[in-house]
């Protein structure tokens, strides 16, 4: 294993390490709370949302010292005891609440680095995240994960890792990944990096429930170290065996019945709130285990899972808590599900998730609709009036720089043939039918008559070419698979992405080989990205030079690029969003997928040919 030497940023930098451990501060905090020493900051004139009692108390003030909360007192108490503190901040009757804690996200989905991600998170009131970096793990193995951990240590955000558990997502027989996280490599990550807080989502739930040796060795690497295990599961029939294997949370509860089963099996539920235009908005259905079936919300959290940079700005964790409220939860309950509950799930409720004494001063100021006005991170005001402060702007200007090898991960020796051979006789094709919302892809059989060219066959059957090209340099240019999409809707040209989950090979779809070649070449030249091509020209692109997954720009710039891409993508006629397109190679979700090895049936996990007699 290529191990990096963990290092800490300077204490002067605004990072998770800016606040000293509680063990070194207890006397100081006790003195402040007792009125024997001055506070650094008093936030006064506030209502305080307690995630412990799930009540909003009127006329309170919060005393902060050394980046931690010393006490929450009645308004005016500080002046009676201590006179003037270092600083006062008047909340003007707003609601003070703990910063949000996202229990399951993929930074790579936002296509920015951890340091850049922090800006959007803090604007949304999120001060802690638990990220699963299996995307960069699939490209660069453990070395890529350690790069992201270094990145995270330099970010003005508390970032913990749920160590990727399923890299590759299936097996070398079904796809070619750039990484192979063995049980030994996973154990080493836990042992070397204290922020490795849990095992990430165990996506191969069928092998887990069938007792696969490698899958259970990975589970053991976490369990024997006392780390919790996160899950990813479809199908009520798998719940019992999955829970018995040590999995204790999942974000994939898509309806109230499986959510109910999981809660009764002792599995935490992370209600995934995604923008309604994407495949990820399962919260409204899964929350019915509480609102309709009477389950307690005590082991229920909310999470974001995947957000591109554009959606991250508009649909952050604060938006998800508001969605929970709209779905029937009380205001205080919804905020607790986004802060204290995730902290409790990962055993960190003594540090984050509430406004109790000794906790980090990760604090937000809300209006009555739970919209974030201000964010304090470790007692530093980083967002005010919904805009970043100079303190945060300065911190973001000193972002972590990824090593040069991270900028060289697309290895394609030459442009391969990008469309399948035209059938010489009538045959049946195994095709991938897309449908909204875009998670499940359907296996259709289409009869292809003998024709002189592809144009007639594509038009007659509403088909689009789709090709996956292995990009990790492991197949000598031979890792190319051709398929056909039905109902994709692309009018002309081509679209392409280097974010082909989960092995992150290149995926290109198009109406003609020439435009597909232009799109593929654009990804090679930029070492990754997502693009739209028509008539030989690139009309929209988000370059992703770091591991073919991440931009090295600030989040606002990437959000603008992503917004432009989505507009062009929709205008081109694509019926599923580009993030749904990125899932077409994801060979762990039914019914049919395409990888560099060919067409894969799920859950059978079998390869099938494009053409049959």
Please give the residue that has the higher pLDDT: either 440 or 126: 126
In sequence order, the 6+-apart residues with CB closer than 8 A to the CB of 300 are 263, 268, 269, 270, 271, 287, 289, 290, 337, 341
Ramachandran region of residue 573, left (φ > 0), alpha (ψ -120 to 50) or beta?
A: left
Q: Which of 365, 357, 315 lies closest to 579 in space, CA to CA?
A: 315
Please check whether residues 582 and 523 belong to one and the same domain.
yes
Say yes or no: 76 and 130 in one domain.
no
Residue 145 lies in a domain: yes
How confident is the model over 501-523, as pLDDT tens digits?
A: 999 999 999 999 999 999 999 99
In this structure, the answer to whether residues 394 and 419 fall within a common structural domain is no
**Under 8 Å between Cβ of 162 and 152:** no
Q: Is the pLDDT of residue 2 over 60?
A: no
pLDDT reading at 1 higher than 70: no
Mean pLDDT of 404-418: 95
Question: Looking at the structure, do residues 395 and 438 belong to the same domain, yes or no?
Answer: no
φ/ψ bin of 393: left (φ > 0), alpha (ψ from -120 to 50), beta (otherwise): alpha
Establish how many alpha carbons lie within 13 A of residue 317's alpha carbon, considering only the half-sphere containing its beta carbon. Answer: 33
pTM: 0.94
- Domain final residue, candidates 400, 426, 458: 400
Domain limits at 46?
22-96
Lowest mean pLDDT among 2-6, 165-169, 449-453: 2-6
Return the CATH number at 172: 3.20.20.140
Place of tokens 């309170």: 60
Looking at the fold, whether 132 and 271 belong to one and the same domain comes out as yes
CATH number at residue 75: 2.30.40.10
Helix (H) or strand (E) holding 103: strand 100-105
Give the residue from 49, 65, 96 where a domain finishes: 96
If pLDDT is split at 50, 70 and 90, which confidence band does 85 have?
low
Does residue 147 lie in a domain region? yes
* Burial track 126-138 (b if 16+ CB lie within 10 A, e otherwise): bbbbbbbbbbbbb
Beta bridge partners of 399: none
| pLDDT for position 592 | 97
Our count of domains for the chain comes to 3
Note the Cα 361 to chain centre separation in Å.
25
Sign of the CA dihedral 191, 193, 197, 201? negative
Residues 423 and 341 in one domain: no
Domain presence at residue 373: no
User: Are 316 and 463 found together in one domain?
Assistant: no
> Are 215 and 302 in the same domain?
yes
Q: What is the pLDDT of residue 84?
A: 67
Mean of pLDDT over the chain: 95
pLDDT of residue 45 exceeding 80:
yes
Average pLDDT estimate for 180-192: 97
- Model confidence band, residue 613 (pLDDT cutoffs 50, 70, 90): confident
Full DSSP string of 45-68: EEEEEETTTTEEEEEEEEEEETTE
What is the C-alpha to C-alpha distance for residues 525 and 133, in angstroms, rounded to an integer?
Answer: 25
Confidence of residue 436 (pLDDT cuts 50, 70, 90): confident
Q: What is residue 437's predicted lDDT score, i.e. its pLDDT?
A: 79
The pLDDT assigned to 77 comes to 92
Kindly state the average pLDDT of the residues 552-577: 96
Residues 189 and 312 both lie in one domain: yes
pLDDT of 382 reads 98
Establish if 377 belongs to a structural domain.
no
Q: What is the distance between the alpha carbons of residues 425 and 448, in angstroms, rounded to a whole number?
A: 8
Do residue 468 and residue 355 come from a single domain? no
Which of the pair, 108 or 478, is modelled with greater confidence?
108
Looking at the domain assignment, is residue 573 inside a domain?
Answer: yes
Predicted pLDDT at 86: 72
The pLDDT confidence band at residue 597, using thresholds 50, 70 and 90, is very high
Q: Are residues 64 and 183 in the same domain?
A: no
pLDDT tens for 297-336 read 999 999 999 999 999 989 999 999 999 999 999 999 999 9
Same domain, yes or no, for 582 and 489? Answer: yes
In tens, the pLDDT along 574-583 reads 999 999 999 9
Tell me if 88 is assigned to some domain. yes
Q: Is residue 482's pLDDT more than 90? A: yes
């Amino acid at each position: 294993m290529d191990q990096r030497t963990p290092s800490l940023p300077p204490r002067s930098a605004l990072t998770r390490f800016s606040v000293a451990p509680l063990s070194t501060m207890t006397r100081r905090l006790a003195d402040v709370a007792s009125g024997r020493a001055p506070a650094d900051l008093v936030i006064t004139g506030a209502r305080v949302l307690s995630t412990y009692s799930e009540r909003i108390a009127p006329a309170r003030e919060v005393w902060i010292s050394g980046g931690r909360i010393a006490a929450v007192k009645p308004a005016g108490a500080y002046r009676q005891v201590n006179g003037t503190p270092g600083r006062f901040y008047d909340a003007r009757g707003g609601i003070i609440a703990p910063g949000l804690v996202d229990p399951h996200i993929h930074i790579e989905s936002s296509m920015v680095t951890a340091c850049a991600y922090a800006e959007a998170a803090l604007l949304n009131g999120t001060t802690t995240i638990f990220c699963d970096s299996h995307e960069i793990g699939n490209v660069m193995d453990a070395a890529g994960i350690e790069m992201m951990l270094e990145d995270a240590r330099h970010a003005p955000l508390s970032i913990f890792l749920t160590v990727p558990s399923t890299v590759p997502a299936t097996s070398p027989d079904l796809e070619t990944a750039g990484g192979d996280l063995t049980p030994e490599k996973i154990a080493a990550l836990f042992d070397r990096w204290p922020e490795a807080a849990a095992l990430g989502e165990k996506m191969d739930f069928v092998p887990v429930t069938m007792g696969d040796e490698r899958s259970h060795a990975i589970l053991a690497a976490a369990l024997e170290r006392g780390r919790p295990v996160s899950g990813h599961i479809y199908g009520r029939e798998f719940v019992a065996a999955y829970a018995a294997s040590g999995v204790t949370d999942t974000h994939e509860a898509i309806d109230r019945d499986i959510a109910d089963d999981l809660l009764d099996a002792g599995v935490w539920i992370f209600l995934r709130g995604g923008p309604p235009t994407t495949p990820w908005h399962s919260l409204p259905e899964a929350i019915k285990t509480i609102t309709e079936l009477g389950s307690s919300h005590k082991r229920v959290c909310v999470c974001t899972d995947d957000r591109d940079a554009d959606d991250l700005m508009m649909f952050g964790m604060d938006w998800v808590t508001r969605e929970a409220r709209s779905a029937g939860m009380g205001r205080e309950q919804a905020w607790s599900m986004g802060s204290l509950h995730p902290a409790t799930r990962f055993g960190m409720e003594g540090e984050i998730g509430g406004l109790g004494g000794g906790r980090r001063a990760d604090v937000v100021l809300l209006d009555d609709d739970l919209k974030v006005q201000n964010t304090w991170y470790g007692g530093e005001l980083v967002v005010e009036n919904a805009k970043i402060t100079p303190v945060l702007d300065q911190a973001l200007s000193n972002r972590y720089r990824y090593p040069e090898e991270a900028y060289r991960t697309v290895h394609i020796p030459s442009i391969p043939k990008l469309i399948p051979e035209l059938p010489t006789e009538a045959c049946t094709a195994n095709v991938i039918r897309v449908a909204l919302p875009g998670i499940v892809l359907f296996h259709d059989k289409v009869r292809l008559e003998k024709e002189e060219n592809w144009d007639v066959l594509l038009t007659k059957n509403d088909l689009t070419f789709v090709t996956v090209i292995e990009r990790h340099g492991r197949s000598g240019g031979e890792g190319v698979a051709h398929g056909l999409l039905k109902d994709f809707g692309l009018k002309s040209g081509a679209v392409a992405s280097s974010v082909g989950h989960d092995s992150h090979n290149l995926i290109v779809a198009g109406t003609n080989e020439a435009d597909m070649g232009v799109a593929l070449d654009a990804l090679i030249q930029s070492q990754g990205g997502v693009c739209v091509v028509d008539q030989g020209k690139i009309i929209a692109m988000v370059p992703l030079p770091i591991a073919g997954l991440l931009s090295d720009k600030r989040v606002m710039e990437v959000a603008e690029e992503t917004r432009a891409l989505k507009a062009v993508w929709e205008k081109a006629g694509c019926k599923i969003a580009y993030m749904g397109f990125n899932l077409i190679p994801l060979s762990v979700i039914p019914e049919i997928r395409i990888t560099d090895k060919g067409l894969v049936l799920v859950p059978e996990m079998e390869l099938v040919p494009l053409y049959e007699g």
